[in-house]
Amino acid sequence: MGPWSVGIEDIRDARDTLTGLAHRTPIVTSRAADERAGSNVFFKCENLQRTGAFKFRGAYNALRKAQASTSLAGVVTFSSGNHAQAIALSAQLLGIPAVIVMPQDAPAGKVSATQGYGAEIVRYDRYRENREQLARTLASKRGFVLIPPYDHPGVIAGQGTVAMEMLEEMNDLDLLVVPLGGGGLLAGCAIAAKAANPDCRLVGVEPESGNDGQQSLRAGSIVHIETPRTIADGAQTQHLGEHTFPILQRLVDDIVTVTDDQLIDTMRFCADSMSMVVEPTGCLAAAAVLNGRVEVKDQSVGIVLSGGNIDTARFAQLVGAKTGWSPGRSGQA
């Protein structure tokens, strides 16, 4: 389907690779969400995935693929977020060492979670050093493979299994709404969803302060921006990828944005109405639908809740602040 580095057969292959390793996450509904959106809304709960985010799918698939084609000495990556934990667990499962390049000021919780999966952490100074360069140098010195967080065919194929699972259960979805950072999740989901149902519309959601994807679709080329200031730390990417952009350009119907306040409201909504902890980035797609940023009247709408990694102190700090919409003390579910 298209001249890209990823096709639907790669996603089927990834699904087979991940069977029994990644969770087939539940799809949940909420009457409060349906009422607020004026549609039938289905949440795919990747906040309940292993390592707390969908990133495990892409990381494991990419690593397994690399291991099948060469004898793999180890893996390097340069994320401080969910991809780091995903790579660390995948390497542990495949019995190879992992090196994660993280900034000196990375949150202690993320560092210890990553170390907990047995990965080696290499610190860098985010104001003086280039992490990609550092990771590349480390990889070639040790003979390790470098698996980046989104711009990699094996990663994109793995992320596509999220939508593949969803459309297997409900192939009459009118719309699938997906969080967008560098585009690995959205690109994979777009290929899988359009293959199952060509009439399913695809919409990506970015933080308002980091709308490089929206700008890129409009410009017809990859737009680079400064690191955006937003609580959605998994979507603080500065640009889409060489692999992800052409797929999004061809298959995605629209990219919309939400504010940080809308993300906080949505975190509160997920906790109050669905008893779920979802991290700010994980709320992007839900925030767009619940705040009318996408046209959804009387439709069947899929929403990816992409991750749930947030420590309780930070969660309480964000959700405790009184801003915007709240469902009221008694709840409405």
Ligand X SMILES: *Cc1c(COP(=O)(O)O)cnc(C)c1O
- List, by residue number, the catalytic residues: 55, 80, 206, 210, 212, 306
CA-wise closest residue to 44 among 29, 59, 61, 33: 29
Residue 257 touching ligand X (CB under 6 A): no
- Residue count at the site for ligand X (CB under 6 A)? 23
For the chain, how long is the longest CA-to-CA vector? Answer: 59
Choice between 184 and 302, CB closer to ligand X: 184
For residue 185, the Cα-to-chain-centroid distance in whole angstroms is 5
Identify the residue among 43, 150, 245, 269 touching ligand X (CB under 6 A). Answer: 150
Instruction: State how far the Cα of 305 lies from the Cα of 43, in Å rounded to an integer.
Output: 6
Residue 255 touching ligand X (CB under 6 A): no
Instruction: State how far the Cα of 281 lies from the Cα of 233, in Å rounded to an integer.
Output: 6
Identify the residue among 139, 282, 289, 319 touching ligand X (CB under 6 A). Answer: 282
Taking the complex as a whole, the smallest distance from the CB of residue 43 to ligand X amounts, in Å, to 14
Residue 234 touching ligand X (CB under 6 A): yes
Identify the residue among 307, 310, 318, 319 touching ligand X (CB under 6 A). Answer: 307
CA distances from 278 to 36, 128, 292, 296, 318 (A): 19, 33, 20, 22, 12
Handedness of CA 313, 314, 317, 320 (dihedral sign): negative
- Is residue 217 classed as helix, strand or coil in its secondary structure? helix
Residue, CB closest to ligand X: 307
Taking the complex as a whole, the smallest distance from the CB of residue 281 to ligand X amounts, in Å, to 4
Identify the residue among 306, 310, 318, 319 touching ligand X (CB under 6 A). Answer: 306
Binding site for ligand X (CB under 6 A): 53, 55, 81-82, 149-150, 159, 179-186, 234-235, 237, 279, 281-282, 306-307
